[in-house]
Amino acid sequence: MITVQNLTKKYGESIVLNIENLEIPKGQSFGLVGNNGAGKTTFFSLMLDLIQPTTGHISNNGVQVDASEAWKPFTSAFIDETFLIGYLTPEEYFYFIGELRGQNKADVDNLLSGFEDFFHGEILGQKKYLRDLSKGNQKKAGIVASFIGNPEVIILDEPFANLDPTTQIRLKGIIRELAASKEVTVLVSSHDLIHVTEVCERIVVLSKGEQVKDIQTSKETLKELEVFFGG
Amino acid sequence: MLKHFLTLEWKSFFRSASFKANLAIKIFMIFGALYFMVVFLGLGIGAFYIIEKQGWGDPLLIVNQFMIYYLVIDLYIRYMLQKMPITNIKPLLYLPVKKSQVVAYSLGKTVVSFFNWSHAFFFVPFSIVLLIEGYSPIGVIGWHLGIMALFYCNNFINVLVNNMDNVFYTLLGVVLVLGACQYYELFNITVYTSPFFKALYEMPWMAFLTWGLLISLASSAYIYFKGHVYLDAGLAGKKSLAKTEDYAWLNRFGNLGTFLKNDIKLIRRNKRSKTSVIMSFFFIFYGLLFFTGGIEAYDGPVWKIFAGIFISGGFLFSFGQFVPSWDSAYYPLMMSQNIRYREYLSSKWYLIIIATILSTILASFYIYFGWDAYLAVIVGAIYNIGVNSYLVLWGGAYIKTPIDLTSNKKAFGDKQAFNSKTLLLTLPKLILPLGVYALGHYLISPTAGYIFVAMAGIIGFGFRNKVFAMIESIYKKEKYKTLAAYKQKS
């Protein structure tokens, strides 16, 4: 589904990302871990064509993302609050995204009804604009918005950060479900090794922009990661 | 303690992200400030003699007569531009600093603001001239101190009513109506207000009254803020009650409707964009300067077109100029969503067109000044629709300053308006139509001038698809730079 070739991103002399070769097959749940500055967000921004690669390219379902926009209809993401429109209510925001993805209100309502637990009664019908929601609730709205319109690739940057424990557990369930369908490729980055080993089939470790580990998740993975980051 | 506050202030000023940003603009602003100081100074010295020479009567009386408007305009400008003192005190709240000190310092800071002492450039020389011209010294001093207190009252009124838009705009409306009444000699508010200002001179002890008012306003501001320095009270951002709006009637426009709906919400729910729209409304009255013959320099026939372009193009200039910065807060979303630039730009374009047509209809009162005047407005509107609407969108591609929708800061132009490319693009926006008109006017006839300008607009309109394709490619080329620039919040 996603192919990365000779991808580098330089700012001046410093190389912030350098991935020679990476293949993510369709339906995989893919985890990206690394310390601050390892290049996780840079990689996701490159995937969404928000920044330009210095060399190389990323292909998403055969579409080279920095050359064509044809990847947009089947790709969705939530990176940070710049993906929210502050002056809309959550409902309006969901419908707006829905309309852009060819979903009518009924479709969106239908999808949202499946997330009532996840929202915990704090998102819908609150008479609040997104900008006035708490950080955690903003994040919930942004994550759910990325599920609208049956995307085939979903990119979530640090989805667990800022969420309360209950919601973290629910989100894990949701990501596992998506992964189980084998239709959706989910890319998740996290600082929380436990979460990421629980939901991802495969984990890539970035360090200073380089890919240093590529692990198929097993029982030993958490231990291995803890040793890597602890040492 | 004061020493700490002052060093903090010093550092926040010199270390602010925007401080080094644009030295040229800083210098430009200093020149602007100097210019106003000189104008005020000149007025302060000259006003007395000008009024006397024109034979309007006692200069002090005349100044007193218009004082009420001066004060209201001052309040208006403060409301729009003066920053609230409470913005930077959050980090101090949990430190071992007395709240009363923090509040007193914050309010004290507003007292030394430019908005207060700039008036001295008018009032000090004016008072000196009064003394030279033999007015009673005690009277002049009483008057001077009394008026000074009133300007400081404005300072604290502004602090107290900040963010009460409803109250504020109602007041503004009342004053505008009163001004119009005075102009048409229906009702003259100054008859009732000027005796008060006059009394300050005749009975200098009256100055104590205004100082009393000032002290009570200052202490109520102090008490108010001291009681409200909590994160969930005075320091809390105003949270508006959200209501979901549908605008289902826009659905018939398909994808375009989706964007239009969003843009309407953008304008209605954010302070900054609301200010822009209100400003564009005032542009409609700009033509009064031209068509009433109020300013001699504007009497040439070519200036009619200039007026026409501004009257119908208020929204185009105040809102259109900042596309796509309106969406700066969530630009990454727009860029990774299933959106084509073409649709995005079209929606903004339609918005500009609708507003231009509305302004033109609202401006129909110019028929009062003759059909010729209104014709200039219509021709200006055609040019705005056919040519200027593209030019503002094109210029927008080079404007990369993020807009903070929730604050009015910089609503009246700032460095983003002084980018060399956008500056170059204003030439065809304003100068070209004047030239085209002049060509027709002086070579053939005034009517031909109008026809020429209108033709330019219609031709531009005809090339819509071509022009859009070009603008689209520029936006695409600038995309990454724009994204990077919006990320750096000032």
> Higher confidence at residue B191 or residue B42?
B42
CA distance B262 to chain A (A): 8
**Distance, CA of B51 to CA of B61 (rounded, Å):** 10
Model confidence band, residue B281 (pLDDT cutoffs 50, 70, 90): confident
Is there a single domain that holds both residue B189 and residue B280?
no
Candidates B250, B266, B337: best to mutate against A (most CBs of A within 10 A) is B337
CA distance A12 to B70: 54
ipTM: 0.78
How far is Cα A143 from Cα A124, in angstroms, rounded to an integer?
14
Residue B417: what pLDDT? 46
Give the CA distances from residue B227 to residues B94, B192, B221, B469, in Å, rounded to whole numbers and listed in that order: 16, 37, 10, 57
Examine the pLDDT at B172 and tell me if it is beyond 80. no
A127 and B239 within 8 Å at the Cβ level: the answer is: no
* Share of residues in chain B with pLDDT > 70 (%): 84
Task: Please give the share of chain A, as a percent, with pLDDT higher than 70.
Answer: 100
The string of pLDDT tens digits covering residues B358-409 is 999 988 888 888 888 888 899 999 999 999 999 888 888 887 777 877 766 5
Residue A24 has pLDDT above 90, yes or no: yes
User: Which A residues, 23 through 52, put their C-beta within 8 Å of a C-beta on chain B?
Assistant: 48-52
State pLDDT tens for residues A46-81: 998 888 899 999 999 999 988 888 888 899 999 988
Query: What pLDDT, on the 0 to 100 scale, is given for residue B490?
Result: 44
Tell me if B236 is assigned to some domain: no
pLDDT higher than threshold 50 for residue A223: yes
| Same structural domain, B183 and B331 | no
* pLDDT of residue B18 exceeding 80: no
Q: What is the mean pLDDT of residues B269-279?
A: 83
A127 touches chain B (CB under 8 A): yes
B211 and B297 housed in the same domain? no
Compare CB distances from A85 to B244, B330, B486 and report the shortest one's residue: B330
Q: Is it the case that residue B437 has pLDDT exceeding 80?
A: yes
Check: CB of residue B358 under 8 Å from CB of residue B319. no
- Of these ranges, A56-60, B266-270, B424-428, B449-453, the one predicted with the greatest mean pLDDT is A56-60
pLDDT beyond 70 at B412:
no
The structure tokens listed for B420 are: 């060399």
CATH number at residue A30: 3.40.50.300
**B242 lies in a domain?**
no
Which range marks the domain in which residue B267 is found?
Answer: 248-487
**Domain carrying residue A97:** 2-230
The structural domain count of chain A equals 1
With an 8 Å Cβ cutoff, are A79 and B239 in contact? no
pLDDT on residue B22: 54
Same domain as B460, residue B397: yes
Residues of A in contact with B244 (CB under 8 A): 89, 91-92
Cβ separation of B336 and A100 shorter than 8 Å? Answer: no
Bridge partners, A11 (sequence order): A14
Residue B339 to residue A83, Cβ atoms within 8 A: no
Q: Give yes or no for A126 touching B (CB within 8 A).
A: yes
pLDDT score of A200 more than 70: yes
A11 vs B: CB within 8 A: no
Cα dihedral B11, B17, B21, B27 sign: negative
Rounded Cα distance, B276 and B320, in Å: 10
Contact (CB<8Å) A92/B335:
no
Q: How many whole angstroms separate alpha carbon B170 and alpha carbon B159?
A: 18
**CA distances (Å), origin B242, targets A90, A133, B38, B134, B268:** 10, 11, 47, 62, 12
| Residue B239: inside a domain | no
Q: Measure the CA–CA gap between B275 and B412, rounded to whole angstroms.
A: 9
Residue A83 forms contact with B (CB below 8 Å): yes
Question: Of B397, B88, B413, B389, whose CA–CA distance to B275 is shortest?
Answer: B413
Q: From B194, B227, B260, give the residue that closes a domain.
A: B227
**What pLDDT, on a 0 to 100 scale, did the predictor assign at position B352?**
92
CB B143 within 8 A of CB B59: no
Interface of B with A (CB under 8 A): 237, 239-245, 255, 258, 261-262, 265-266, 269-270, 329-333, 335-340, 405-406, 480, 483-484, 486-487
- CB distance B269–A128 less than 8 Å? no
Task: Provide the pairing of β-strand A75-78 with A153-157.
Answer: parallel
Which of B338, B339, B343, B406 to probe by mutation at the A interface, max A CB count within 10 Å?
A: B338
In this structure, the strands spanning A14-24 and A2-11 are: antiparallel
- Taking CB atoms and an 8 Å limit, are A89 and B336 in contact across chains? no
The predicted pLDDT at position A211 comes to 92
Chain B residues within an 8 Å CB radius of A89: 242-244
CA distance A220 to chain B (A): 37
- Reading the block at residue B366, the tokens are 């110019």
Max mean pLDDT among A151-160, B156-165, B388-397, B481-490 falls in A151-160
Is B258's CB within 8 Å of A88's CB?
no
Tens digits of per-residue pLDDT, B77-93?
887 777 666 656 666 66
Q: Is the pLDDT of residue A203 over 90?
A: yes
Is the pLDDT at B46 greater than 90? The verdict is no
- Which of B240, B255, B265 shows the shortest C-beta gap to A88? B265
> Among candidates A63, A85, A49, which has minimal Cα distance to B479?
A49
For residue A159, what pLDDT is reported? 93
**Residue scoring higher pLDDT (B409 or A210):** A210
Q: Which residues of A touch B480 (CB under 8 A)?
A: 50-52
Contacts B243 to A, Cβ<8 Å = 89, 127
Nearest to A100 among B338, B484, B487 (CB): B338
> At a CB cut-off of 8 Å and minimum separation 6, what does B50 contact?
none
3-state secondary structure of A139: helix
**Rounded to whole angstroms, what are the CA distances from A75 to A64, B3, B166, B249, B440?**
13, 55, 44, 30, 55
Kindly tell me if the per-residue pLDDT of B488 is higher than 80. Answer: no
With CA atoms as reference, report the closest residue to B303 among B294, B321, B320, B291. Answer: B291
**Is residue B234 very low, low, confident or very high in pLDDT (cuts 50, 70, 90)?**
low
pLDDT band at B44 (very low <50, low <70, confident <90, very high): confident
Domain shared by B281 and B159, yes or no: no
Q: What is the DSSP string of B201-226?
A: HHSGGGHHHHHHHHHHHHHHHHHHHH
Residues B337 and B416 in one domain: yes
**Mean pLDDT within B256-284:** 85
Domain match, B413 and B451 both: yes
Which of A52, A75, A149 has its CB closest to that of B480? A52
Contact between B144 and B63 (Cβ < 8 Å): no
How far, in Å, CA of B230 to CA of B226, rounded? 9
- My answer on whether B33 and B130 are in the same domain is yes
Domain boundary among B197, B227, B257: B227
Looking at the structure of chain B, the number of domains it has is 2
Domain assignment present for residue B88? The answer is: yes
Q: Do B337 and A72 touch (CB under 8 A)?
A: yes
Mean pLDDT to the nearest integer, A155-183: 90
Min CA distance, A210 vs chain B (Å)? 23
CB pairs under 8 A between A and B: 88
pLDDT value at position A182? Answer: 84
| Residue A141 at interface with chain B, using a CB cutoff of 8 Å | no
Q: Do B338 and A132 touch (CB under 8 A)?
A: no
Residue of A nearest to B328 (CA): A82
Does one domain contain both B53 and B170?
yes
Q: According to the model, what pLDDT value does residue B252 have?
A: 76
Look at residue B416 in the predicted model and tell me its pLDDT.
Answer: 46
Chain A segment 55-74 residues within 8 A of B by beta carbon are: 69, 72-73
End position of a domain, from candidates B227, B260, B289: B227
Q: Are A31 and A204 in contact (CB under 8 A)?
A: yes
Q: Is residue B233 part of a domain?
A: no
On the question of pLDDT at B294 being above 80, the answer is no
* pLDDT value at residue B438: 86
Residues above pLDDT 90, as percent of chain B: 7
